[in-house]
């Protein structure tokens, strides 16, 4: 009985290790995909703000004010 429960516990530990490894890999994969998207989006916002002649802070304040007025 003891060896059977020990084997079951070992299998559970192995399954937990696989789940943990998979979650770490998925997290790293998400970061690897998400960071370039955030970087490109930030650059596009900066470029749009520079083209419109506003600083990023002025543009964000203007956007928030126009959004709050529309509500």
Alpha-carbon Rg for the chain in angstroms = 25
The conformation of residue 52, written as its DSSP 8-state character, comes to T
Range of the domain at 26: 2-70
- How do residues 42-71 score in pLDDT, each as one tens digit? 888 877 777 667 677 777 788 888 887 776
Report pLDDT for 35.
92
To the nearest 10 degrees (0 to 180), the angle between helices 56-70 and 2-51 is 100
- Decide: 52 and 59 in contact? Cβ < 8 Å: yes
Report pLDDT for 21.
82
Predicted TM-score (pTM) of this structure: 0.45
**Domain count across the chain:** 1
- How do residues 7-45 score in pLDDT, each as one tens digit? 555 566 676 677 788 888 889 999 999 999 989 988 888
Q: Judge whether residue 5 has pLDDT over 70.
A: no
């Amino acid at each position: 009985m003891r060896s059977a429960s020990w084997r079951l516990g070992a299998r559970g530990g192995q399954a937990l290790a696989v789940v943990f490894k998979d979650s770490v890999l998925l997290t790293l994969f998400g970061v690897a995909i998400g960071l370039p998207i955030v970087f490109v989006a930030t650059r596009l916002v900066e470029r749009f703000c520079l083209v419109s002649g506003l600083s990023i802070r002025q543009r964000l304040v203007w956007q928030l004010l126009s959004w709050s007025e529309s509500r």
